[in-house]
Structure formats: C-alpha cells, structure tokens
Structure 1
Amino acid sequence: MTPTFTVRSRPPFRAEHVGSLIRPATLYQMRKDNCKCSPSELKAIEDESVKAVVRLQEEVGLRTVTDGEQRRGMFFEGVFDKLEGMITISNRPISTFKPYIPHIAIMYAQGIQESETIFCNGKIKRTKPFYVEEFKYLKSITAPENVKYLKVTMCPPTWFHQRHGSDLTYDTSVYRNDDAYFNDLAIAYRQEIDELYRLGCRHIQFDDPTLAYFCDETMIVGMENAGVNHEALLDTYIRAHNLVAHGRPDDMTFSVHMCRGNYRGFSFSQGGYERISHKVFNSLDVDVLYLEYDNERAGDFSPLKYLPLNKIAVLGLVTTKNPKLETVEELKARVNQAVGVLVEGSPKRSREVALNQLCISPQCGFASTWEGNPITEEDQRKKLEVLVEAAKQIWPAEMH
C-alpha cells in the first residue's frame, strides 16, 4: 500500500534556487592555485564569499537563502567524510565502482584505473557535526526574522552506496545488509538535523542524483545485465530517505532535488521522471520535489500527473549549464503547461490548486563543484533576476 503523508509545513517561496552559487573571484583563485593558506586565512576568505552570495540572493529578491556551498569543494563534502566508521580511500580500484552508474561509466570510458571514495569499515556514528558551524555563521549574518528561511543542502544517505552497490559499500562483518547500514546512517543524519533545528534551521534539501539515475534507460539495462534488481534498490533508497525524515518536526521542510549530475555544466544521465514518478512522488516522505526541466534530456511534464496533493513541485526551468538567458514569457508558458498536466492528473484538481503546488527554480546549482559551470557571476545574477520576475508575474499576490 502506498503510504500517505499529511502536509507538514509551508511551501517554499515561488522563486527558489537549488543551493550552490559561483565562487567569488578571490575564493575561486585561491582554490585554483591550490593555496596553502592557514585554516584561519581560508575561513576569512570563505566568510567574505558567503557574505557576497547572501547579498546576491537578497538583492535579486530570493527569500530562501543558502550559503552557496562556498566552503565545499564538491556538493557532497561534509557528511560521509565526518562520520565515524567511514574511511577515505584515495586510490580504490575502478573495478569496485559499478560500471552501469552514469558518471562511473564515463570514468571507465576514460580509462581511469582508480579513484578516491569513501568506504564504511566500522559502526556509523556522528561524533562531530556536518554543517552546524556553517549554519551558525549564516545565521549570524541574517536578520533574526529571516533565519527561518535559511536552507541547508546536503548529499543524500544513498550517495556512496550507489557507486559501490550492496556488496562493496560496507564491510559485511560490520553490517550484514543494506537495511542495517542505512538504519545507522539515518540515526547520524537525524542527529545532525535535530541540532540544526535547535539552531533555527527549518529547511533541509537533499541533493540526490541517485534517484534520477533510475530514469536513465542505459543504467537500468546495465543493472539488469549485472543481475541487480533495480526496483528493489529504488525501494531501498526511498526507505533510506524516509528513515532520515522519520520524526522530524512539523515545521521542518524536507526537500529532494532529483539531479541528473552537474559538473562544469555537464550532466551525466538522461530520461524523464516517468519511470519513477508514481512510486517516488507518492512514497518519498518529503514536502518538496525539485525537478530538472531545462532541456529535452529531462523529458516532458507528464510525470507531474502523479504529484499528490500534499507536495510541492519546484520546476527547474532555468538552466545553469550555459549562459543563454531564458525569458519571463518562456517561463510563464512552461508553468502554464505544467498546470495543465496537474489539472488532468490523478487526482484531478483545479487550476488554482495546481498552480499553488508549483514553484520555479534553476534546474541545478550554479557550482556543484568549486570550479563552477561555464557561466559568469553576471550570467548567474541575470538568470536569478529573470526567475524572480517570472514568479512575480505568475504569483503576484505572494511575491510582494
């Protein structure tokens, strides 16, 4: 039976952004030059970069604000590398990475023989925070009345599991199976989220390519050829997310960005959400789904017909992959198309209800890695301004 969830918290603001933002010039150059500065010097540079990107978000009219992931080299840093029971392996053989995973397939094609990864060799425990200090700083430069609008982004509990599978992710003498592994991992995530909540955080977003990868027909075929039950694995990943969500406060928004990969403007997978939409949209215990819809690789809006009445879909209509600027009229037309699908969906709903279930955003972050995508800071600003202006015209009563 498909579980049902009640509406737990407010919807996001109508113009959203996914999380990561281009690193300002000083921080970018420091990373490019592999600067050997002291930790205090690095923190000072990152602090100024966070201030700059917060100012950008406020100036263009975004209400939901992040720190732009300025302190991370890659979007997933800061979670698995801080957990007890996890070790970093700098040169793990490529044969231990599943070749059917889209971005791993590229590594195989390039002839890469080994890569850095993380392996679970002991019982998982959260002995130090993931992003608590980062949130404290972000809170310190935010007006008290706006702290509730701050958003923390983090990688999903499934991130390293998918690349190594159920046989090579953890020491089987420590964890007998996936359920045991994800049970302990969820405890660690919940402890982090509980601490963030006590500090005032009210929105957690999981940036999750692992779910969207199940839309890619090439991966599905590869899994079947390898004897992997992809439907069972998708169920396992939904369960992993739901374990993290279990018991969260009613005023804590959980969202998932189903990403197709984002590396210097390049994505790794393709395929519309149709393959997974009925199961994921209804079974995943989150309030908000960030969906990528910036090009033909993402498919059409038809999967939205499965969106339940108690969830919000944020349509990623503005691309972060290139500087081509969308227009307000284009965004308004696409939202209208999505409304038409929702109206005829299951269950059917009025246009007013359908429109109330939608928001708009860029399809992904502008810089999931520190190098950023092939656009400038000015391109980034213009795209966010168009996004906000479109939202003002689509939802005028809410944007003033």
Structure 2
Amino acid sequence: MSSSHLHLSPPFRAEHVGSLLRPTALYQKRSDFEEKRCTLADLAAVEEDAIRKSVKLQKDLGIKTITDGEMRRGMFFQGVFDRMEGMTSIPNRPIETFKPYIPHIALMYAHGVKEEATIFCTGKIKRTKPFYVEDFKFLKTLVSPEEVKDLKVTIVSPSWFHQRHGSDLTYDLNVYKNDTEYFDDVGKAFREEIDELYTLGCRHIQIDDPTFCYFCSEAMITGMEAACVDHEALLDSYIRAINVCVKGRPSDLRISVHTCRGNFGGLHFTEGAYDRIASKLFNTLDVDTFYLEYDSPRAGNFQALKHLPKNKVAVLGLVTTKSPEMENAAELKARVEEAAEIMTHGFPKRSKEEALNQLCISTQCGFASIWQGNPITEEDQTKKLKLLVDVAKQIWSD
C-alpha cells in the first residue's frame, strides 16, 4: 500500500518525539541494575511506576499522543535487533569494522575508541518473539479505551546497524548475498511486530531514524565518495528498507519517521539542511508524517518543505531537548508562519491555510535517547512540553 492515496488528518498539533527523562527513582534503580546491584525484576517494578507518572504528566499537560517515555529502554534502539533470531550481540567488535564516515562513528575514531558493542547478523532473520508488544499492553491499561488509538510506539529504523557497518560488514555474506535480501527479512520481522501491535489497538508507530540526516552532511558525503560508496544508492536502499517494513499496512495506521541528528546526552552528531534529500525523502518514503529537527541553525531553513506532498504532515521540531534554555512563544509562532509561507511557494501549490493544516510542532528529539538523559531537569522538561501545547493552541485554535 502506498501512502500516496491516503489522507490521514494531522496528528495532535503539539507532540513530543518519544523519550522522557527518567524520574530520580528510576535513574537510581537503572544505575543499580547497570552495576549489577539489583535484578531485572527489581528494575521492572520501578519502570512501571515511572511509566504511570509519565503518562499522567503527558495527560495533565495536554499532550494527546501518549508514549511510555521509553522508560524500559537503556538506549532508544534496544529491544528490536537484539530480540531477532539470526542476530548476534558482539560486546567488543573492533572499531575497524565500523564505517569512519558515519558522523557518530567518526567521533569514536577521533577519541581513540578501539572497540564497540554492536550486533552482527549471523543467520536468517526471524521475529520469534515480540519487540514492544508487552510494553504496549501495559501502556493500554493506563488510558481509557477511547485513548488507546492515540498511543504511540517508537521503534528504531531498520537501517540502524547497517549504517554502522555498511553492505559488507553488517551480515554474514554466506547468509545474505546483498542488502535487498537482508532488508527483506528485517522488513518481514518489522511487519509482524506492526501487525500484532495494530491488532492490540496501536494506530501510530514512529520510526526513529538517525541515518537520513547523515545524508545531509557534506562531511559524510565526502567520506563516502572517498571510500567509493554510492551514497545515492544507499539512501535509496534505506528508503526501500522502511517501505518494506510498512508495506500493506492498514489505512488507519499512521506511520511517522523522526529524522534525528544525534541526541547523546545533549550532543548532536551531524548538521546540514534537509535540501539534499528532501524531494526524494518526502516523495518516495511511504510514511504519513515526518518529524523534522529544526531547533538550531545546523538544520538549515524551511526551504525543503516546498517538496512536502499534500497528503503528508511535517512536525517541526522547534523546541530543543538538548539544553534548559526556554524558547520564546512569539518566535515559535513566527517560525511556524514562516514555514507555512514557504510551503505556499513549493510544488504542488497550496494555500497558506492548507500549509498550516500540514504542520504540527514538537520537541526536536526525545529528552532521553539514552537512560542517563539530556542535561536538563524534569522541571525544564515540563516547561518545554507546556510551551508546545500553549503555542499550538494559539496557532491552530484561533
């Protein structure tokens, strides 16, 4: 199924990307777990309490698209590839097997990292156990039946480990001959997860993709060309990988993609305007909604939005999660107006009203892509989420 014939109404106008800061009790318990001072069962009990509190926080503030805050994850990508049959965890793979042109890998090389934990495909990939089904079942118990459709599950992009190691070092070449075979089986595993979540009532799945923004980086493009890697072909491959994952989905299931520039304890890994990839990404990626990071000049201006098709939504990540500095409501409103005005000059043509109807606002990323979180406080987090809701009401409720 192609989303070209879908027209889902925009999601709620004020959103957050997914992860939330771990409350103090969970932060301490996770620290204990990492240091082997408590059991997984001990940790799970505190995680559940933190999820209850995070749901209450979102509802109290007026955030309608509810997540579990990723409270059960140590890192945003955990719980997917590590649960697939055919994938082998390698705690100390040599850094030489990681591609140095990938922005966050380049930092590892620069800091003298010799080895890094990763996952390598050693056999045929199968989904023999669920990724987040049990998490969703618990989340459902915390909202009314009418609110279940508004719950959002976040899941890492199928390209996450591939971009680290490339087409030659991601999978055993005796198992998969090429990327097409590899991503076909990854996609099947994703579809099985999506189908089960849908059966349970999930109607919004967000794919977190830190790779697409890397293709906006001149440094990475230069590095890929020096390594004789066809970056346009690889971009096509990563777009296809997601399309395979969401193929044949029900028409009332919203699929969104968050394009991330890095969010490791408040750090970013890449910069560059979306212009390099916008036309291809917006028009060939079979999703309904794009979460775009626009919290700093490194993301460029809004010109890329001229390429947004009329049946898709752009969520502008205008509020940063990387620092406690508070954004100004008037400036946020002005930026949304600027984005809508630019869209009226794009193709296809659209009115200002139509453009505004395709826009929402959000945080630029999660508050805690890793369990340690970003360098802000829970009070800062609350203020930023409240600001989003207040500004959205002013723009779209008037």
TM-score scaled by structure 1? 0.97
**Residues 92-134 of structure 1: CA distance to partner in whole angstroms, max 9, x if unpaired?**
0000000000000000000000000000000000000000000
Shift of 1:4: 7.1
Shift of 1:291: 0.2
- Mapped partners of 2:209, 2:378: distance in 1: 25
SS at match of 1:255: strand
SS at match of 1:314: strand
- Mapped partners of 1:394, 1:377: distance in 2: 26
**Residues 205-259 of structure 1: CA distance to partner in whole angstroms, max 9, x if unpaired?**
0010111110011000000000000000000000001011110000000000000
Find the counterpart in structure 2 of residue 129 from structure 1.
Answer: 130
Find the counterpart in structure 2 of residue 151 from structure 1.
Answer: 152
Find the counterpart in structure 1 of residue 112 from structure 2.
Answer: 111
Find the counterpart in structure 1 of residue 338 from structure 2.
Answer: 337
Residue type at the aligned position of 1:18: V
Find the counterpart in structure 1 of residue 63 from structure 2.
Answer: 62
**How has the CA–CA distance of structure 1 residues 126 and 8 changed in structure 2, closer, same or farther, with 3 Å as cutoff?**
farther
Shift of 1:32: 2.5
- Mapped partners of 1:155, 1:380: distance in 2: 23
8 Å CA contact 1:152–1:204 kept in 2: the answer is yes
**How has the CA–CA distance of structure 1 residues 4 and 366 changed in structure 2, closer, same or farther, with 3 Å as cutoff?**
closer
1:173-322 equivalence runs, <5 A: 173-322=174-323
**Residues 263-303 of structure 1: CA distance to partner in whole angstroms, max 9, x if unpaired?**
01000000010000010010000000000000011110010
Residue type at the aligned position of 1:254: I
8 Å CA contact 1:4–1:283 kept in 2: the answer is no
Find the counterpart in structure 1 of residue 347 from structure 2.
Answer: 346
1:48-59 equivalence runs, <5 A: 48-59=49-60
- Mapped partners of 1:58, 1:35: distance in 2: 34
Find the counterpart in structure 2 of residue 9 from structure 1.
Answer: 8
For the aligned residue pairs, the C-alpha RMSD in angstroms reads: 1.0
Shift of 1:43: 1.2
Find the counterpart in structure 1 of residue 102 from structure 2.
Answer: 101
- Mapped partners of 2:9, 2:3: distance in 1: 18
- Mapped partners of 2:351, 2:105: distance in 1: 43
- Mapped partners of 1:129, 1:385: distance in 2: 34
Shift of 1:42: 1.4
Find the counterpart in structure 1 of residue 31 from structure 2.
Answer: 32
**Residues 178-199 of structure 1: CA distance to partner in whole angstroms, max 9, x if unpaired?**
0000001100000000000000
- Mapped partners of 1:353, 1:332: distance in 2: 17
- Mapped partners of 2:197, 2:157: distance in 1: 16
Counting aligned pairs with the same residue, the percent is: 64
**Residues 336-370 of structure 1: CA distance to partner in whole angstroms, max 9, x if unpaired?**
00011101111110011000000000000000000
**Residues 8-44 of structure 1: CA distance to partner in whole angstroms, max 9, x if unpaired?**
4332100011000000000101223435323322111
- Mapped partners of 2:374, 2:36: distance in 1: 21
- Mapped partners of 2:9, 2:250: distance in 1: 13
- Mapped partners of 1:293, 1:119: distance in 2: 33
5+ residue gaps, structure 1, are none
- Mapped partners of 1:146, 1:35: distance in 2: 37
TM-score scaled by structure 2? 0.98
Find the counterpart in structure 1 of residue 82 from structure 2.
Answer: 81
Residue type at the aligned position of 1:313: A
1:18 matched to 2:17? The reply is yes
- Mapped partners of 1:370, 1:38: distance in 2: 17
- Mapped partners of 2:144, 2:49: distance in 1: 17
Residue type at the aligned position of 2:151: L
8 Å CA contact 2:126–2:185 kept in 1: the answer is yes
5+ residue gaps, structure 2, are none
**How has the CA–CA distance of structure 1 residues 75 and 363 changed in structure 2, closer, same or farther, with 3 Å as cutoff?**
same
Find the counterpart in structure 1 of residue 45 from structure 2.
Answer: 44
**How has the CA–CA distance of structure 1 residues 127 and 291 changed in structure 2, closer, same or farther, with 3 Å as cutoff?**
same
User: How many pairs were matched up?
Assistant: 395
Runs of 4+ in 1 over 3 A off after TM superposition: none
Shift of 1:330: 1.1
